[in-house]
């Protein structure tokens, strides 16, 4: 595996608040979709992304893009302190509709791509965790709450949570 470091995006990129990964050669890769696929491709045996050129790979890209553009981006207004309560509630309802689409898929399969956990699942889980910070109740979408429990039970998710909660 190549050595790389996650670096604060504002330090490395004019794009603003996007994740950034500094590679061994000093190059910087940004944007969640690119980073997820890059990291998945570092270890193809982990199964986080289907092989290039397959329809399954394009389905993965489709899910990652949906999460990035329709869900992740929709959270932005909820982080703003100057947004009215009514506008925040409208944003929450919009997010619930988008999460409803995802829940419909997850009602019939354990992961977005079927039986296999992929990079898209890692991303979806991340944005689902944000719902507790913006007071978005997912109780009406039991497929999503079951999915969150399933992902949280994974050893890899437990390791990440331990790192995130460790003192800096």
pLDDT at 23 over 90: no
3-state DSSP call for residue 161?
helix
Beta strands in 13-80 (DSSP E): 20-23, 28-30
The answer to whether the CB of 92 falls within 8 A of the CB of 136 is yes
**Residue in the block written with tokens 């608040």:** 17
Closest CA to 13 of 39, 32, 31: 31
Backbone angles phi, psi at 50, to 5 degrees: -65, 165
Give the pTM. 0.88
Q: What is the pLDDT of residues 46-93, one digit of tens each?
A: 999 999 999 999 999 999 999 999 999 999 999 999 999 999 999 999
Q: What is the pLDDT of residues 115-140, one digit of tens each?
A: 999 999 999 999 999 999 999 999 99
């Amino acid at each position: 595996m190549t050595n790389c470091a996650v670096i604060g995006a504002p330090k490395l990129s004019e794009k603003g608040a996007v994740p950034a990964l500094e590679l061994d050669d000093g190059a910087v890769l940004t944007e969640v979709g690119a980073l997820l696929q890059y990291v998945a491709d570092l270890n193809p045996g982990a199964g986080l992304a289907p092989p290039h050129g397959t329809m399954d790979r394009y389905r993965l890209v489709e899910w990652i893009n949906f999460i990035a553009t329709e869900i992740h981006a929709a959270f932005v207004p909820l982080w703003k302190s100057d947004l009215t309560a009514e506008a925040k509630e409208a944003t929450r309802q919009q997010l619930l509709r988008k999460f409803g689409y995802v829940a419909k898929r997850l009602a019939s399969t354990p992961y977005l791509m079927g039986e296999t956990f992929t990079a898209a699942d890692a991303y979806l889980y991340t944005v689902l965790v944000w719902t507790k910070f913006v007071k978005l109740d997912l109780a009406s979408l039991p497929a999503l709450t079951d999915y969150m429990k399933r992902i949280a039970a994974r050893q890899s998710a437990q390791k990440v949570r331990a790192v995130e909660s460790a003192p800096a």
